[in-house]
Amino acid sequence: MTKKQTTTSYRVYFGSGDNLNEIEDGEVSLVVTSPPYFNAPFDYPDLFSNYDNYLNLLENLANQLKKKVAEGRIVAIVTDDMLVKGEKFPIVADTTRIFVDAGFRYRERITWIKPKGYVRISRRSGVLLQHPYPMYYYPDNIQESILIFQNGEYDYKERKTLPKEILQKSIIDTKFYNQELYLNTWNVTNVLPQKGRLEEGIAAFPDEIARRLIMLYSYHGETVLDPFLGSGTTMKVAIEMGRSAIGYEIDLELQNIIKRKLKVDQDRLDQNLKVMFFTKKDARNLRTDLNKKVSLQKSVTK
Ligand SMILES: C[S@@+](CC[C@H](N)C(=O)[O-])C[C@H]1O[C@@H](n2cnc3c(N)ncnc32)[C@H](O)[C@@H]1O
């Protein structure tokens, strides 16, 4: 059963999201996250030296979450297969296998569909227009998977033990459910990491994805974790929805972005809202490191 808190709290740790020592076992009621997209050409070129390193990160994460997530509760992972230098990596399948092997139940796969025309990377579909013959078909990608894993069975009797006030604050509007949420395909506009935007170069997901997951899988006052916090979307929405939140982010350079994102909405929130920031030994200046790596490679290949 989830540990109940009487007040909300917010903690951001700069350090790797696969080392969650600062969290008590069973403290987390819901995980909403999107791991770095394996060596994604725009956002994380060559972040991982190979695919096995990437899978190791997910394995460590799954094993840690098995202990930190309360019995029966949910880990929601927004992810997608990644095309790197012409090769597609089966991240959705591998993530599923890793979480199942770590002991989670595979509960659901929701497909997040972005609007047509919102394609970030070059239009691969144009290849067939240039060569209108068999074998030139490379469709544009406008979907991602939201993988839902469950840490064992949930005890539905728990609801009956919750105070009325918590139940009232957590109730889901069934009109909205009937119109938008009853299918396992969600049409939600994505955040385009445009120049000058807070989320530039971060591959952030939109507030609406976090909002739906928090509404569907956690009660008011419970703790939501994002081990790859990025710009802070999960924490921002958790605050708005009266949940506590914990975030991990390896890149110290995102500190100001996270502060700005949370502060943007702070005006609307309780004046006592305090977000605590901690820096661990393995925090990095990831963006600077990656930029250096890319410019080094460019100068070598010139
Ligand atoms: C896809 S983004 C998450 C975006 C986030 N959902 C948002 O809406 O802004 C993945 C994040 O993971 C971070 N990251 C990469 N490796 C990490 C690690 N080992 N531990 C924690 N964060 C890491 C990246 O710096 C990046 O900010």
Q: Is the CB of 96 under 6 A from ligand 1?
A: no
CB 226 within 8 A of CB 152: no
- Rounded to whole angstroms, the Cα distance separating 144 from 126 reads 21
- The answer to whether residue 244 scores a pLDDT higher than 80 is yes
Q: Is the CB of 202 under 6 A from ligand 1?
A: yes
Q: Is the CB of 34 under 6 A from ligand 1?
A: yes
pLDDT at 286: 85
Task: Map out the domains of the chain with their CATH numbers.
Answer: 10-301 (3.40.50.150)
Q: Is the CB of 249 under 6 A from ligand 1?
A: yes
pLDDT at 191: 85
**DSSP labels for 44-63?**
-TTSSSSHHHHHHHHHHHHH
Q: Is the CB of 247 under 6 A from ligand 1?
A: no
Q: Is the CB of 27 under 6 A from ligand 1?
A: no
- The answer to whether residue 37 scores a pLDDT higher than 90 is no
Q: How far apart are the first and last CA of the chain?
A: 58
Q: Which of 32, 202, 278 to mutate to test the pocket of ligand 1 (most atoms within 8 A of CB)?
A: 202
CB 214 within 8 A of CB 30: yes
Kind plus residue range of the DSSP H or E element containing 126: helix 126-130
Q: Which of 18, 250, 252, 281 to mutate to test the pocket of ligand 1 (most atoms within 8 A of CB)?
A: 250
Q: Is the CB of 16 under 6 A from ligand 1?
A: yes
C-alpha 113 chain-centroid distance = 16
Residue nearest to atom 19 of ligand 1 (CA): 16
- The answer to whether residue 196 scores a pLDDT higher than 80 is no
Task: Classify residue 208 by its DSSP letter.
Answer: H
Cα 132 to averaged position of ligand 1 atoms, centre (Å): 39
- Phi/psi of residue 129, each to 5°? -65, -35
Kindly report each contact of residues 167-170 with a partner whose C-beta sits within 8 Å and lies 24 or more positions away, as own/partner. Answer: 167/219, 169/220, 169/221, 169/242, 170/218, 170/219, 170/220
CB 281 within 8 A of CB 16: no
Cα 121 to averaged position of ligand 1 atoms, centre (Å): 19
Higher local confidence (pLDDT), 36 or 124: 36
Q: Which residue has the tokens 């997951």?
A: 213
Poorest-confidence range of 18-22, 60-64, 283-287? 283-287
Give pLDDT tens digits for 48-73: 989 999 999 999 999 999 999 999 99
- Rounded to whole angstroms, the Cα distance separating 53 from 18 reads 13
pLDDT at 125: 85
Poorest-confidence range of 26-35, 190-199, 267-276, 292-301? 292-301
Q: Is the CB of 228 under 6 A from ligand 1?
A: yes
Q: Is the CB of 205 under 6 A from ligand 1?
A: yes
What are the beta bridge partners of residue 84?
Answer: 87
Cα 16 to averaged position of ligand 1 atoms, centre (Å): 9
C-alpha 195 chain-centroid distance = 22
Task: Classify residue 36 by its DSSP letter.
Answer: P
Q: Is the CB of 43 under 6 A from ligand 1?
A: no
Burial of 156 (0-12, 13-18, 19+ CB in 10 A): exposed
Cα 129 to averaged position of ligand 1 atoms, centre (Å): 36
